Structure 1
Amino acid sequence: MRVDIYRRAEAAGRFTHLAVPEGRRIPEEATNTDWDTEVRGQDLDEDAERWEHYGIVQPGAQLKEKGYAITGLNEPEGG
């Protein structure tokens, strides 16, 4: 699946990542935060258990349920 990845800065130099299907807008419930574009059209396996680099677990389930996938609160984002 091709997704657009956005990020926002958190404490201690960490980032939260948000993935939406390529070309779609950030869902309204997530627009209350300033997101910076990290990459557009990233091809990632939505069936993967985790997108390690972004700290996103069960991305396919999140995309299906919410229309986006986001770094978990307790998930370390990769490098």
Structure 2
Amino acid sequence: MRIDIYRRAEHAGHFSYLAVPEGRLLPEEVVNTDWEPTDRSVDLADNATHLADFAIDNPFGQINAKGYAITSVKALPSKPPRPS
């Protein structure tokens, strides 16, 4: 399967990512946020259980359930880094 990747800025310079099947529009429930396209036509291996570059777990399960896969909030740091 090929997917398109979008990202949005979170706190402290981190990003969350959204993966949708190639060529599909963003689902209505996420269209109101500031997603920007980052990668097009990314190959998603048939046995992929995690997209490490985008911190997305269970991409096929998420896409089958809701039409997209998204970075887990658990993958984002809870606190911004301390200034050095």
Q: What letter matches 1:35 in structure 2?
A: W
1:46/1:59 contact within 8 Å kept: no
Superposed CA RMSD? 1.4
Q: How far did 1:47 drift?
A: 3.0
Moved over 3 A (4+): none
| Aligned-residue identity in percent | 51
TM-score by length of 2: 0.86
TM-score by length of 1: 0.91
| Residue 24 of structure 2 corresponds to residue 27 of structure 1 | no
Moved more, 37-46 or 57-66: 37-46
Aligned residues: 77
Corresponding residue of 1:7: 7
- Give the secondary-structure state (helix, strand or coil) at the position aligned to 1:74: helix
Structure 2 vs 1, CA of residues 30 and 36 (structure 1 numbering), >3 Å: closer, same or farther? same
Structure 2 residues without counterparts, runs of 5 or longer: 77-84
Q: How far did 1:66 drift?
A: 0.4
Which protein shows a greater Rg? 2
1:48/1:59 contact within 8 Å kept: yes
